[in-house]
Amino acid sequence: MGGVEVSDKGLWTGRSVLVTGATGLIGSWLVKELLQRGARVVAFVLDADPQSELLRSGDIAHCHVVTGDLADFTALERAVNLHDVDTVFHLGAQTLVEVAHRYPLATFESNVRGTYNLMEVCRVHRGLVGRIVVASSDKAYGSKSDLPYREDMSLAGAHPYEVSKTCTDLIAQTYGHTYDLPVTIARFGNVYGGGDLNWSRIVPETIRAILRGQRPVLRSDGTFIRDYVYVKDVARAYLRMAECMDRPDVRGEAFNFSGEKPTSVLELVHAIRRLMGREDIEPDIRNTARGEIKDQYLSAAKARERLGWTPEYSLDAGLLETIGWYRDHLGA
């Protein structure tokens, strides 16, 4: 671990923590981790989806819920100011590449305006907010031939979703550098796990299709290479960043998180079929994806060295838990 202390659960006891995007895949599991550590969670939500893990698990009953839009400065200020928020995890965003391509305005409103609104709220109320962790993405790097991505590479998104995450990342950096806000930035690859209700994504779509005895649909040609990181590892990475915020080699920095085992879409689908005992079901390869970078994967060396973070779950272990979640959720 390079002398880095392990996660201190006592740090979170009684701490007021705002999570934007709390009903999303990562937000739901992060809230669960925070509640287990005794935090006072303020969940900022747009739509209360009853199928979200946050609601399905009953965790929402233990949160202070603020309903609002990231594009609404007043709603964000109310969440931070009225609840004396000490720590902010900014996960709220429009996260689907195809939706961003089809309707970029809503994506920019959520991901760009939402980020500068929240950063400005934190600047205005800097007497309250002591740590801010912002969700960026591997998509912020844009398309590069030199892989894996490293944190010292330029951010250069080209298509709408990529650009929205490039902007999110740079806005957070701006508030850190210019106003000395206590910010760190997380860049993940593809996050999977139980509770992802965006059925256009490859993991939930493949599992649901196989449970129904149907062929999973691949929007790409199946050769695209990505990082796949289990959501529980992601939630713990966010906590680790916040816990290390006071260190000069962490504050103001961006960190990549990855299992460092690049996997093609076809390899991922094959793993799911194997684990579900349905290798007889072949994928339906459509090759219709738009606005997608072909190959993206990350180096997590900086997170290992400075944060002591490594994933606890292998791909098979994460997928097995995920398959179990969807079996229960879909009544299979």
Distances (CA, A) of 132 to 90, 119, 179, 243, 252: 7, 9, 13, 11, 10
Rounded CA separation 260/150 (Å): 12
Distances (CA, A) of 248 to 116, 151, 185, 251, 315: 24, 16, 14, 5, 33
CB 85 within 8 A of CB 128: yes
Round to the nearest angstrom and report the end-to-end CA distance of the chain.
41
Partners of residue 184 on adjacent β-strands: 133
Return the structure tokens found at 239. Answer: 């906590």
Amino acid 266 reads: L
Rounded CA separation 318/322 (Å): 6
Rounded CA separation 323/304 (Å): 28
Q: Does the active-site annotation cover 161? A: yes
Rounded CA separation 329/249 (Å): 42
Q: How many CA atoms lie within 13 A of 170 on its CB side?
A: 15
Amino acid 63 reads: C
Which letter does DSSP use for residue 10 in this model?
G
Rounded CA separation 236/201 (Å): 22
Active-site hit among 161, 228, 297, 326: 161
CB 115 within 8 A of CB 171: yes
The catalytic residues are: 161
